[in-house]
Structure 1
């Protein structure tokens, strides 16, 4: 997926997202490790001046060239007007803000375009780890322009899984402690992208993920050959009245059934 131009010489959507993500990453790095100002939104969710700066840049940059697209971002007040848009930008200026503020490397800038409830173009950029993931519906997925694919292992006892502690404990009890749980990565989008490139064998999202957390990574994983699915086996839908999602499971096809069954058992055990 090299740089491609739309009719008239302008960047097409995927390269527009990639170019914007790179600049957004530079903005993030200008604040990284420098104690940016922080506020708390909701109950305990931090937002920093870096989040706001990136959000402002992306909104101005993207809507200037795609004024007919809708807009949904973690750091912009939601508007029901987005529901009428045929195509919609779904943006997380910094996915993994807690990690960003703690100085860890695994934060990302997440950009997607959604149409008819599903992402059609996606870019995820990790400025510190220097990984740029891209995907277009039907065109495959890459990391730094190299094709990616998920792990082919069908065993929960192989690979690493980024999953909640209670699910890990349930699986390890069943497997006599033979499952490897990865260290915590604050960015859910990056965890899903690592499943897409085989760096992780699977990950689970709790019932709190929002559209902006997962839309880009969802397409990247799907185009790599894996899937992000609800427990009923269906794909999540985006640009709905509620942006919140229930339990979600990300994996390659080989381990999907085993991981899904273990998650369902763990949920039922805790009920």
Structure 2
């Protein structure tokens, strides 16, 4: 495989879009139906029959098509050999399982191709909303075929942010007055997509998000003119031994310096 700047990932993008659509159709069959549910992470996180069914479809399609790629999925036991693979699939069969089980339409299938630690193709499919977000390194982010662009809100404007109340509470009073906090969005990946399509100016992410929550949405946001970074302003790297992340900020590039400044001030106080 050649350098990521010259190699075309279009065939991989087409593959994951098709797989996400098929997994989404399967998951939709469970939506607002009685679901068998199990609890993981010490009873903190639900996983349903729909998650496993969608994961099975994705695994079958993608691993058969690219047997040389690694695999990282929320609903598959971690395979240590992924660390030996330059390229892998990073998958969340249903991002927003709690919302899915509660009957909310805000959940999505998240699939990314990651190479050398960064996403090169990504798709988020929200079947209940009939929304398909797609991005590859070769072109812009698309939502149902339309080009996405982040918000152009500037300093001093009202900032539409999706984040927890306790994060905003630590900001300076002057900045807090400019913040319009958006109510809870049950899917983190979809929340980042909302930044990509301009409905939100940014989102502040608490620690302990995972690669599978972020990788596809990261690329979609990037190709729409935004970024997902840690609090030092650095891009995320995926497929590391530990797949959890610290606090993050996803935002339009123009807004990012102000948000990071506020976050740094909050942490210092």
TM-score category by the smaller chain? over 0.9
Output the CA distance in 1 between the equivalents of 2:52 and 2:268.
Answer: 39
TM-superposition CA deviations, 1:128-155 (whole Å, max 9, x none): 1111011111422111111101001123
Question: How far apart are 1:264 and its partner, in Å?
Answer: 2.1
Check whether the contact 1:112–1:120 (CA below 8 A) recurs between aligned residues: yes
Aligned length: 260
Deviations 1:125-181, CA, capped at 9 Å, x for gaps:
111111101111142211111110100112364242101212222347334634210
- Residues in 1 aligned to 2:125 and 2:176: alpha-carbon distance in whole angstroms: 37
Instruction: Describe how 1:50-89 pairs up with structure 2 within 5 A.
Output: 50-89=50-89
Provide runs of 4+ in structure 1 moved above 3 Å.
175-178
Give distance in 1, aligned partners of 2:61 and 2:132. Answer: 19
Mapped contact 1:172–1:179 kept (Cα < 8 A): no
Comparing 34-43 with 163-172, greater Cα deviation is found at: 163-172
- Which runs of structure 2 are paired with 1:18-57 in the superposition (5 Å)? 18-43=17-42, 44-57=44-57
Deviation for aligned residue 1:254: 1.8
Relative to structure 1, the CA distance from residue 29 to residue 79 in structure 2 (aligned partners, 3 Å threshold; closer, same or farther) is: same
**Paired residue for 1:3?**
none
The question of whether the paired residues in 2 share the 8 Å contact of 1:249 and 1:260 is answered with yes
Counterpart position of 1:166: 166
Task: Give secondary structure in 2 for the equivalent of 1:24.
Answer: helix
Whether the 8 Å contact between 2:159 and 2:178 is mirrored in structure 1 is no
- List runs of 5+ in structure 2 lacking aligned partners: 1-7
Once residues 151 and 215 of structure 2 are traced to their aligned partners in structure 1, the CA distance between those partners, rounded to angstroms, is 21
> Given the superposition, is the C-alpha separation of residues 101 and 172 from structure 1 closer, same or farther in structure 2, using an over 3 Å criterion?
farther
- Mapped contact 1:150–1:224 kept (Cα < 8 A): yes
Q: Which runs of 5+ in 1 are unaligned?
A: 1-6
CA RMSD, aligned part only? 1.6
Q: Say if 2:211 and 2:243, in contact at 8 Å, map to a contact too.
A: yes
Q: Which moved more, 1:136-145 or 1:108-117?
A: 136-145
